[in-house]
A = this chain, B = another copy of it.
């Protein structure tokens, strides 16, 4: 991760961009998710509540794809949310492999109350950049995220 590496200018720059990108994402995420610990929610738990809130009930795998978490993890995340009475599981009777997950009224309430604050925090963080800079960053991230092929 260090820059004490003696390669070509091109290599140096690529390594440097890579480090800056990673650290930037890490620190922005750390700041944005800080408030979640007050609610005793992990980032995954918040992601699940938010997905269910905005997209409606889903089965576990679908949820895992939305929030980019492993299916193994979804079992635990949803276990924990169930214990706190924030979501409910319901086995699909037509295809018994699926487990449908939905918000309870308590879960609905919690995410309804918290989400505006979350948006405010994100806005404060990202608002450091001008609208034009935001568009530019978004464009570059999209290009980079797709990789060589895309």
Interface residues of A (CB under 8 A from B): 1-2, 4-5, 7, 10-11, 13-18, 20-29, 31-32, 47, 50-51, 54-55, 66-68, 115, 119, 122-129, 131, 133-138, 140-148
A131 contacts B20, C-beta separation under 8 Å: no
B2 contacts A66, C-beta separation under 8 Å: yes
Q: Beyond A55-B4, A134-B14, is A28–B21 a contact (Cβ under 8 Å)?
A: yes
Compute how far the CA of A31 lies from the CA of B125 in the bound complex, rounded to whole angstroms: 27
Interface of chain A: mostly helix, strand, loop or mixed: helix
Closest 10 CB pairs of A and B: A25-B25, A24-B141, A24-B145, A14-B126, A4-B54, A20-B141, A14-B123, A137-B140, A17-B134, A2-B54
| A134 (CB) vs chain B CBs: closest residue | B17
- Which residues does chain B contribute within 8 Å of A22, judged by CB atoms? 25, 28-29
Compute how far the CA of A120 lies from the CA of B5 in the bound complex, rounded to whole angstroms: 13
- Which residues does chain B contribute within 8 Å of A31, judged by CB atoms? 147
B119 contacts A15, C-beta separation under 8 Å: yes
| A56 (CB) vs chain B CBs: closest residue | B4
Compute how far the CA of A15 lies from the CA of B126 in the bound complex, rounded to whole angstroms: 8
Minimum C-beta distance from A47 to chain B (A): 5
Compute how far the CA of A54 lies from the CA of B122 in the bound complex, rounded to whole angstroms: 36
A128 contacts B147, C-beta separation under 8 Å: yes
